Amino acid sequence: NFTMSLTMFGEKLKGADPEDVILAAFKVLDPEGTGTIKKEFLQELLTTQCDRFTPEDVKNMWAAFPPDVAGNVDYKNICYVITHGEEKEE
């Protein structure tokens, strides 16, 4: 599942970037400071930049981190899973 994939990705990053560094990178994309990014914008970045996500990766991403009704994705939760390996309790 995608959460497991993110956890494994996080294992590779352990020691590379602490959670606050990853959050800071996302915050650059969130000038309003809402803690969210538009799904379409994040999907475009993930599929066109650097190590590009496949359509299957994107599908799994939205299954693991579904956007809210307004199409916003909570990047703080994504960062938490990358750095801690489990979903944050609400």
Residue 14 has pLDDT above 60, yes or no: no
**Tell me, what's the pLDDT at 15?**
53
Residues of the chain above pLDDT 90, percent: 31
How far apart CA 52 and CA 49 sit, in angstroms, is: 6
Structurally, the chain folds into a number of domains equal to: 1
Instruction: Note whether residue 68 is domain-resident.
Output: yes
CATH of the domain at 35: 1.10.238.10
Instruction: Note whether residue 90 is domain-resident.
Output: no
Residue 54 has pLDDT above 70, yes or no: yes
Of the candidates 68, 88, 17, which has an alpha carbon nearest to the alpha carbon of residue 9? 17
Residue 11 has pLDDT above 70, yes or no: no
What range defines the domain where residue 13 resides? Answer: 2-84
- To the nearest whole number, what is the mean pLDDT of the chain? 81
SS3 at position 36: strand
Instruction: Note whether residue 66 is domain-resident.
Output: yes
Instruction: Note whether residue 59 is domain-resident.
Output: yes
Residue that is written with structure tokens 């969210």 in the block = 36
How far apart CA 18 and CA 22 sit, in angstroms, is: 7
Q: Tell me the whole-structure pTM to 2 decimals.
A: 0.72
Residue 66 Cα distances to 5, 31, 39, 48, 74, angstroms = 16, 21, 9, 20, 9
